[in-house]
Amino acid sequence: MDDGLLPISALQHFAYCPRQFALIHIEQAWEENQFTAEGRHLHERVDGGFPEQRGSVRYERSVMVCSDRLGIQGKLDLLEVHQDGSGARYLPVEYKRGKPKLQDWDRIQLCAQALCLEEMVGVQLNEGALWYWQVRKREPVVLNEVLRESTLKIIEEAQALRVSGCTPRPTDIKQRCRGCSLVDVCQPERFRRDRSSSYVAGIFEDEETS
């Protein structure tokens, strides 16, 4: 693993909450709760599997991927390699402990994995899949232009935030704080009440107008 490359899993953190991303990937803070423990256990089980062949499909686990162009790297939980008369078709599969979401957080992480794989093998991928443990359901994901553009935008913004070294304020979407394992470290309500930055900005504005 190249320490200079951004982990692909960090993109899901950024898409969910830029402050969570900064606490983990800039300040190196981490706390575990039930959700993160279950997620870690699930990935340990998945990653511990062996490669296998079923008919015309090869199943590879814990596949490392990276993109020097985008500055990201990560690990595919599962890569299906479908062989047919036209050659190999690659399908990345990401495992999640929860259930399908309306938001694109998980799909962005999967799309970033696909972008890395495309750069490595030189073949465009059309789809991937997310497998959700809570509902035992596999959700197909179309890697269309809209998702690709959203993913590239998240990569660019996450890289810029990491370079800045600044931790942003808590998200205004308070519901996201409830299940976050870093809520005690983050202290979102305390920082939402903190008006010191506005106070300092007001002082300089007064000086400029006087």
pLDDT of residue 45: 63
More confident position, 191 or 79: 79
pLDDT of residue 199: 44
Q: CA 7 from chain center: how many Å?
A: 8
Which pLDDT tens digit goes with each residue over 69-78?
A: 999 999 999 9
pLDDT of residue 43: 56
Question: Is the pLDDT score of 203 beyond 70?
Answer: no
pLDDT of residue 194: 65
Domain covering 6-166 assigned CATH 3.40.50.720 in the classification: no
pLDDT band for 191, please (50, 70, 90 cuts): confident
Question: Is the pLDDT score of 201 beyond 50?
Answer: no
User: pTM for this one?
Assistant: 0.81
Report the percent of the chain where pLDDT is more than 70. Answer: 81
Q: How far is CA 199 from CA 9, 83, 162, 182, in A?
A: 36, 63, 26, 27
Average pLDDT, the chain: 86
d(CA 199, CA 178): 29
Which pLDDT tens digit goes with each residue over 81-122?
A: 999 877 889 999 999 988 899 999 999 999 999 999 999 999
pLDDT band for 164, please (50, 70, 90 cuts): very high
Q: Where are the domains of the chain?
A: 6-166
More confident position, 10 or 191: 10
pLDDT of residue 41: 57
Backbone angles phi, psi at 10, to 5 degrees: -65, -25
pLDDT of residue 46: 61
Joined tokens for residue 48: 């511990």
pLDDT of residue 192: 79
d(CA 180, CA 170): 12
Question: Is the pLDDT score of 181 beyond 90?
Answer: no
d(CA 171, CA 176): 8
**Cβ neighbour number for residue 101 with a 10 Å cutoff:** 14
d(CA 183, CA 170): 10
pLDDT of residue 71: 97
